[in-house]
């Protein structure tokens, strides 16, 4: 009887159009893994002391920074004296309202061809201070055939390197393909000034 019932079901499915056994659902693709975001380590004791000292001079530093309003983001951006062109690095801070603020580190490279900014080495007073891997988020073709690349990084991601640079007589940021961004005392003093203002807004070292 079981065989006859199965045969009848098969005959009906062949005679009636559109009548077919239920199909199994297609297998679902696995969900993509959730990216793990590495948190920067907290400041060391020496870094805390250095930043506390900088914060004590922050009020006067803050008053001397250039302001730029950003209505679309509800922010005010402040930075020191930065050359309008050429390869350099600098800090700028943002006042975001409700007492919040942020500090960014910018690497700007200009040259005849793009540099490999994916792995940069920081050299302070002739000695290697460490490396960082910025992701360039702006590219522009300049008049005359040169190009400009800009990487904008949160300060906490490069905090030890920035502190090492501003406390040295000079610094070099060397890209993976050997291009160099040289920073003298004037550029490093501008970094110090912006960092001092930011720490003042934060009420001291973070």
> What does the pLDDT look like over 81-117, one tens digit per residue?
999 999 999 999 998 877 789 999 999 999 999 999 9
Q: pLDDT band for position 12 (50/70/90)?
A: very low
Q: Give the pLDDT confidence of 182-195 residue by residue, as tens digits.
A: 999 999 999 999 99
- Residues with Cβ within 8 Å of residue 74, at least 6 apart in sequence: 96, 97
| pLDDT of amino acid 94 | 93
C-alpha to C-alpha distance for 127 and 8, rounded to whole angstroms:
87
Q: How confident is the model at residue 71 (pLDDT cuts 50, 70, 90)?
A: confident
Q: Angle at Cα 24 formed by Cα 22 and Cα 28, nearest 5°?
A: 150
Q: Does the predicted TM-score (pTM) go above 0.85?
A: no
Instruction: For tokens 């380590």, name the residue.
Output: 41
170 confidence band (pLDDT: 50, 70, 90): very high
Q: What sign has the CA pseudo-torsion 67, 171, 110, 150? A: negative
pLDDT for 6: 47
Mean pLDDT in residue range 120-142: 92
Is residue 145 within 8 Å of residue 153, measured between CB atoms? no
Q: What is the mean pLDDT of the chain?
A: 83
Q: Indicate if the pLDDT at residue 206 is higher than 80.
A: no
Segment 135-156 mean pLDDT: 91
What's the average model confidence in pLDDT over 48-65? 85
Give the ranges where 18-118 is alpha helix by DSSP (H).
Answer: 45-55, 58-63
Q: Does residue 12 sit in helix, strand or coil?
A: helix
Burial class (CB in 10 A: 0-12, 13-18, 19+), 103: buried
- Percent of the chain at pLDDT > 70 equals 79
Residue 175, helix vs strand vs coil:
coil
The residue-averaged pLDDT of 49-68 equals 86
Do the strands 171-174 and 120-124 form a parallel or antiparallel pair, or are they unpaired?
antiparallel
Residue in the structure block whose two tokens are 């199965």: 6
Residue 33 is predicted with a pLDDT of 53
């Amino acid at each position: 009887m079981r065989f006859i019932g199965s045969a009848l079901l098969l005959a009906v499915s062949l005679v009636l159009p559109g009548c077919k056994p239920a199909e199994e659902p297609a297998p679902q693709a696995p969900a993509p893994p959730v990216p793990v975001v590495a948190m920067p380590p907290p400041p060391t004791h020496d870094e805390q002391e250095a930043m506390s000292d900088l914060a004590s001079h922050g009020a006067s530093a803050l008053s001397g920074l250039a302001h730029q309003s950003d209505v679309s983001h509800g922010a005010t951006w402040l930075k020191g004296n930065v050359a309008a062109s050429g390869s350099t690095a600098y800090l700028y801070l943002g006042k975001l309202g409700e007492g919040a603020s942020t500090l960014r580190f910018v690497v700007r490279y200009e040259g005849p061809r793009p540099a490999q900014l994916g792995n940069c080495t920081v050299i302070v007073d002739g000695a290697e201070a460490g490396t960082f891997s910025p992701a360039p988020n702006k590219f522009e073709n300049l008049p005359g055939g040169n190009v400009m690349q800009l990487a904008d990084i949160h300060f906490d991601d490069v905090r030890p390197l920035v502190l090492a640079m501003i406390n040295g007589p000079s610094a070099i940021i060397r890209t993976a393909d050997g291009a160099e961004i040289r920073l003298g005392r004037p550029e490093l003093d501008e970094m110090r000034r912006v960092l001092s203002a930011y720490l003042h807004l934060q009420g001291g070292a973070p």
